[in-house]
Amino acid sequence: MTEIDASQVSWQDQYKLMVGTVTPRPIALVTTLGADGPNAAPFSFFNAVGSDPAMLMFSVGDRSGKAKDTVRNIRETPEFVVHIVSDAIKDKMNVCAVDYPFGVNELERAGFTILPSRKVKPPRIAEAPVALECKLMQIVEMGRKPYHVVFGEVVYFHYHDGIVNDRFHVDAGAINPVGRLAGKGGYCRITDRFEMPRIPLESAPGAK
Ligand SMILES: Cc1cc2nc3c(=O)[nH]c(=O)nc-3n(C[C@H](O)[C@H](O)[C@H](O)COP(=O)(O)O)c2cc1C
């Protein structure tokens, strides 16, 4: 076993442990709206939280002691759109992660097409296979760095054709998401999938 006492490790090394250990992580490409216009940035500290209502979260670290544009914008306009990053839009997503100064429209730089959202003010990205319009529920600040954990309620779902059926089953293969691994450029696809049905209690190990 390798054992590591977190209290003896710098935040930089704890970061390496976290991003290398919790993999693969889905990537949210988040659009927000500020005084200087729309903004887009990817976040892989991201996941679903619950379904009544549909809720999700992503977590934003500070940049040089200041809140990133995404958090600054959400404080101003408490709405955002989460796009699932697919293989088709991964390179454009990467442009949105460049540390442009506040006010630069990453969506334009990346070559994305923006469309109006239905229920929130920030625009959505046409090329993204899935766009989830969200209203802010809560921003929780945690940790010493600190991180701003943004919780949102999904109020409107957009899917490209052929992804969701009329029984609300979503074809993950049709989304073709990429996941974040560790390091400077580590990503993965979901091209090696398998099924493992849940075990009913009556046939579970130890059942009589
Ligand atoms: C795939 C990927 C995942 C990222 N995940 C996070 C994350 O979870 N939290 C974070 O604070 N920054 C993350 N970043 C870095 C931000 O995207 C980057 O700092 C961005 O410029 C912030 O933009 P903003 O200032 O417009 O909000 C990630 C970058 C990439 C490429």
- Please give the mean pLDDT across all residues of the chain: 96
Residue nearest to atom 16 of ligand 1 (CA): 97
pLDDT digits (tens, 9 = 90+) for 77-135: 999 999 999 999 999 999 999 988 877 889 999 999 999 999 999 999 999 999 999 99
Q: Among candidates 89, 70, 62, which has minimal Cα distance to 32?
A: 70
Residue 41 Cβ contacting ligand 1 at under 6 Å:
yes
Residue nearest to atom 5 of ligand 1 (CA): 43
Q: 6-203: CATH homologous superfamily?
A: Electron Transport, Fmn-binding Protein; Chain A (2.30.110.10)
pLDDT digits (tens, 9 = 90+) for 193-207: 999 999 999 999 998
Residue 18 Cβ contacting ligand 1 at under 6 Å:
no
- CA–centroid distance, 88 to ligand 1, in Å, is 19
Other Cβ atoms less than 10 A from the Cβ of 44: the count is 21
Kind of pairing between the strands at 79-84 and 28-34: antiparallel
pLDDT at 70: 96
Residue 69 Cβ contacting ligand 1 at under 6 Å:
yes
* CB of 112 closer than 8 Å to CB of 125: yes
Residue 80 Cβ contacting ligand 1 at under 6 Å:
no
Percent of the chain with pLDDT over 70: 100
| Band of residue 32 on the pLDDT scale cut at 50, 70, 90 | very high
pLDDT of 145 over the 90 cut: no
pLDDT at 153: 98
Terminal CA-to-CA distance of the chain, rounded, Å? 36
pLDDT at 5: 98
